Amino acid sequence: MLLACGALAREILALKDSNGWDHMDLACLPAILHNHPEKITDAVSEAVAKHRLSYDQIFVVYADCGTGGLLEAACKELGVEMIAGPHCYAFFDGLERFEARGEATAFYLTDFLVRQFDAFVWKPLGLDRYPDLRDMYFSNYETLVYLAQTDDPVLSDKAREQAARLGLAYERRDTGYGGLATALSGWADASKPAPE
């Protein structure tokens, strides 16, 4: 069973469908937990306990996601595997490549965040009500980097518009599913039922 961040649901379902991984069920926690990373570890732990009654294997499809190592420690204690990396930007881009870039002035978006920009960035930061906050929040950023999982011109146009709204330069990188596909492929093989 895959226990995932809701921000990855579309990508996981696409990978399951394209690879015929029908033996892996998917349960998602609300993506909005990313706005409160201190809640992620408890939410994952509770969900693992709930699903453990029905599944022999549970794979946690979260990276660290701002938990400061707490999620990794909880997964080890619970005996479940999780995807490697500090966050989805790094595993989509490739952990080594992401770390080598060291882009401290880049603000990242994925396909999900491009689609949900207002709900996950603009409104929670109060920019819809107090547009002057933009310069305070984003003064240390130079570029909005769109890590694209799909080749969708509509999403690319939206990401370019969002960069302009934030006053940032725009860069698009085709990452595909990156380390997400690699991790799921390994878990799919490990959890495949034995032939009868």
pLDDT at 61: 96
Tens place of pLDDT for every residue, the chain, 196 residues?
999 999 999 999 999 999 999 999 999 999 999 899 999 999 999 999 999 999 999 999 999 999 999 999 999 999 999 998 899 899 899 888 888 888 899 999 999 999 999 999 999 999 999 999 999 999 999 999 999 999 999 999 999 999 999 999 999 999 999 999 999 999 998 887 766 6
pLDDT at 64: 95
Measured over the CA atoms of residue 72, residue 82, residue 25 and residue 5, the dihedral's sign is positive
Query: What whole-number distance in Å separates Cα of residue 193 and Cα of residue 48?
Result: 21
Query: What whole-number distance in Å separates Cα of residue 2 and Cα of residue 13?
Result: 11
pLDDT at 43: 98
For the record, the structure tokens of 81 come out as 């595997």
Query: What whole-number distance in Å separates Cα of residue 113 and Cα of residue 136?
Result: 21
Query: What whole-number distance in Å separates Cα of residue 141 and Cα of residue 143?
Result: 6
pLDDT at 100: 87
pLDDT at 195: 65
Query: What whole-number distance in Å separates Cα of residue 5 and Cα of residue 75?
Result: 15
Q: Tokens 């960069």 identify what position? A: 163
CA-closest candidate to residue 27, choices 80, 70, 69: 80
CA-closest candidate to residue 92, choices 70, 63, 67: 63
Q: In 63-98, which positions are buried (b, 16+ CB within 10 angstroms) versus exposed (e)?
A: bbbbbeebbbebbeeeebbbbebbbbbbbbbbbeeb
C-alpha distances out from residue 11 to 4, 6, 7, 112, 120, Å: 11, 10, 9, 9, 18
pTM of structure? 0.90
Q: What are the domain boundaries of the chain?
A: 2-87+178-191, 95-174
